[in-house]
Chains A and B, each alone.
Chain A
């Protein structure tokens, strides 16, 4: 069924340096003293119970939706090829659901109420049954109401039937999340009441006078367009606590290692509204998988992980000392931190938050630098005009005051030209249409352009195994990510899910190029259920496969996929964006012959 290129697999194993040594099966997170270990479930018959309870973060109690009494819930440690029979008992007075994020299931086991099943009614039990046909790091979470935001998420690891191509001596799951002590429904209400309500990093007159942030000319240009360059995250550290495995920075979750070991860290971003910048000062990060799919190892110092994504990272600490895992919120309004150390109780210095980034013209899809000849290339474009390849993350900081718009003869710089996206329904929910969106998969994420060390970009990713379907696409579809930040309206092609009349249609087994165009000033991690798609870059047949892709502001991303029959949710993994309408269905027809 699955084609594996043995040669590349072996090559990569050699690169990883450990040969095909069978990995041990360690407990997935050795906790710090006082932090209870997260339970692990294995086998074919599993049981989950969902109930509301209390959870303590850095000594403060909050309400949470718990799976088997914990947040995150129990790790499901599965084996490729096994069958799974999971009963989910809902002990709450509200409906719930469990979606297996990144796990390929039959269409009626995908766990999205109203799309794949009716949901799990209060005080009832639903049994999920499906074969496990893949390997890697995944997770599961509620797809009902705001339960995911309240802690209803947990990791999944599927071990391969044979030896793991990634050699490692020890592993830890690092599940990042953002928790709000304010009820998520209230958080959303506030976002609807006033744009940017949680942003306490706005530009000020004081900043202008002391020569910080944008210059007066830049501010005037942005104000004229009603765009706020500090609007990086809707929900910020002002209301969120950033967690590692359910624990705050003071709890200091600690994972153990012995010096010299190859430690596999399985990062999962379960954050509802937060993109994280992840680094471990003092250690190189070797990226070996994303979204559960193995990639040729890439060594970086930092990577950005968007909501719903996973990254497997190998680190090899050789010293008898502690290292801090730093997961900074993309808007730098807070961070999650944890420790890996040879012994419990050791701590490493946690670096201070770096200054918050500012959006630039390119985030509006108005980048002139790529068009103007003779001028220097943008600060983070991969290659400058002299042909030198700039190392992502190592670009010289953009000079202050350079983010101004030049008139480009013959090019409409209209921010709302319907001709740029005829399928978008214009109205109060569409603030702008990017005039010049560009492929930004070769660029670091927001704020990582000039951090002074090597940063992962999507174009670094190359699949380790040959893509299962290498046919070229026979048709293409462009989907615009639209929104109005002032009204907090989000949707696809100008429509909220509540306003749509038909799903996006695909033919079973066809090959389609989907291009996502971000017409907003915010990053949107877009997740497609029931599929992996191949990003439209990389060596022939080895395009990186993902289930969630972060589309940068003013950017576009192309990917190819082979639709599976059924109805599949397609949405922004910023839960607040999804909750207000950035959700649609991929309907793939024909469906198989009806069961008798």
Chain B
């Protein structure tokens, strides 16, 4: 019994000297009263102004980026095509305004194209949540509310996904993934995949329910600088089910597999 009591007291005995130390020797850490040493020497108003400036600068600075992820030419037998996919952002580390656009067309005009205006918020080390509006201007004008996320996954996979709800009640989803395989210091092979899904058939937007379209690409770019890289590659795309029917009816006869040549650039 006595033994047990001793055991129970042991931590207390061990801690006692420290407790005594803390009480007697260790000086208390002063509490900050919101005062500033330099205010005693200089005009406190001038100091306040300088303080606010410096504090805003160190961590609160805003930056921007304009990026053309894909800007490519797609030679084809009938009519040569083109495709673009770009994004720009403006803001700080957490809150950003994001503008995105993607689309494709031929010499005859834009086949499909959209613009998204989003509020982006960093929610994790590698993840941003994005919410905003999407406006399609081809093949049919449509406005959607958009919710999505952009993330860097383990093994350096880039992943993006979003849900879109149109003013007509149509629900769409899009997911994109890509990976940079660095062959040589400036030579990068990028596999890329995109899928589009819809919850309903819509002749107006030429989308059928379920998996409506998918794209796979393999692009080889040469980074003259990291921010300026021409590329060549192949793109394979397929429209499924009703979506394919709508587009065939509209006279779209492009090959499913195309060679591409383009530029990836940002500033």
A→B interface (CB under 8 Å)? 107-108, 113-119, 188-190, 192-194, 197-198, 200-206, 220, 223-226, 427-431, 474-475, 484, 486-487, 489, 491, 496-499, 502-503, 505-507, 510, 565-567, 578-581, 583, 587, 589-591, 594-595
Q: Which residues between 93 and 136 of chain B lie within 8 Å of chain A, taking CB atoms?
A: 93-94, 122-126
Contacts A474-B27, A475-B26 known; A487 to B93 CB distance under 8 Å?
A: yes
Contact B65 A193 (CB under 8 A): yes
The reply to whether the CB of B140 lies closer than 8 angstroms to some CB of chain A is no
CA distance A484 to B123 in the complex (A): 13
Residues of A within 8 A of B255 (CB): none
Report the separation of the CA atoms of residues A193 and B185 in the bound assembly, to the nearest whole angstrom.
19
Decide if B36 touches A499 in the complex (CB within 8 Å): no
Other A-B contacts than A205-B181, A226-B154, 9 sampled, CB-CB below 8 A, are A108-B42, A114-B54, A115-B38, A206-B183, A223-B155, A474-B26, A507-B30, A583-B59, A591-B37
Inter-subunit contact A579/B61 (CB<8 Å): yes
CA distance A202 to B185 in the complex (A): 6
A192–B63 touching, CB < 8 Å = yes
Could you tell me if A118 and B42 are in contact, using CB atoms closer than 8 angstroms? yes
Contact between chains at B125 and A428 (CB < 8 Å) = yes
Q: How far is the CA of A115 from the CA of B36 in the complex (A)?
A: 8
Determine the residue in chain B with the shortest Cβ distance to A112. B54
Q: For A594, list chain B residues within 8 Å (CB).
A: 40
Q: Return 12 A-B CB contacts under 8 Å, by A number.
A: A114-B53, A118-B38, A118-B42, A193-B266, A194-B227, A201-B185, A204-B184, A427-B122, A428-B94, A430-B125, A489-B93, A503-B32
Q: Is the CB of A580 within 8 A of B61?
A: yes
Best-surrounded residue of A220, A475, A502, A595 (most CB of chain B within 10 A): A475
Is B60 among interface residues, defined by CB-CB distance under 8 A? yes
- When distances are taken between beta carbons in the complex, the residues of chain A under 8 Å from B152 are 226, 486
B55 x A428 contact (CB < 8 A): no
Residue of A118, A192, A498, A578 touching B46 (CB-CB under 8 A): A118
> Contact check: which of B29, B40, B58, B156 meets A579 at CB < 8 Å?
B58
Which chain B positions have C-beta within 8 A of A190?
Answer: 227
Task: Decide if B26 touches A484 in the complex (CB within 8 Å).
Answer: no
Binding site for A on B (CB under 8 A): 25-33, 35-38, 40-43, 46-47, 49-61, 63-65, 93-94, 122-126, 152, 154-156, 181-186, 226-227, 266
Supposing A486-B152, A507-B28, A507-B29 touch, asked if A497 and B266 sit within 8 A by C-beta, the answer is no
- Complex CA gap A482/B65 in Å reads 24
Complex: A201 Cα to B125 Cα, angstroms? 24
- How far is it, in angstroms, between the C-alpha of A312 and the C-alpha of B33 when the chains are bound? 42
Looking at A107, A224, A498, A567, which has the most chain B CB atoms within 10 Å of its CB?
Answer: A498
Which single member of B29, B59, B182 contacts A499 (CB below 8 Å)? B59
Residues of B contacting A224 with CB < 8 Å? 154-155
- Per a CB cutoff under 8 Å, which of B27, B33, B123, B156 touches A428? B123
- The complex places the Cα of A42 from the Cα of B38 at a distance, in Å, of 29
Contact between B125 and A581, CB atoms less than 8 A apart: no
In the complex, are the beta carbons of A567 and B58 less than 8 A apart? Answer: no
Shortest Cβ distance from B128 into A: residue: A428
Q: Which residues of A contact B186 (CB under 8 A)?
A: 200
- Residues of A within 8 Å of B125, CB to CB, are 428, 430-431, 484, 486-487
Contact A223 B156 (CB under 8 A): yes
The answer for the CA separation of A589 and B28 in the assembled complex, in Å, is: 11
Q: Are A502 and B32 closer than 8 Å at their CB atoms?
A: yes
B37 proximity list for chain A (CB < 8 A): 107-108, 116, 565-567, 587, 591
A117 touches B184 (CB 8 A): no
Q: Give 5 nearest A-B pairs by CB, closest first.
A: A496-B59, A498-B59, A114-B54, A581-B59, A498-B60
A383→B46 CA distance, assembly (Å): 55
- Whether B59 contacts A497 by the Cβ 8 Å rule is yes
Contacts of B184 in A (CB 8 A): 204-206
A101 to chain B, nearest CB (A): 18
Residues of A within 8 A of B59 (CB): 491, 496-499, 580-581, 583
Task: Report A-chain residues with C-beta under 8 Å of the C-beta of B26.
Answer: 474-475
**Chain A proximity of B21: nearest CB distance (Å):** 8
Taking a contact as CB atoms closer than 8 A, the residue among B33, B54, B124 that contacts A115 in the complex is B54
Residues of B within 8 A of A119 (CB): 50
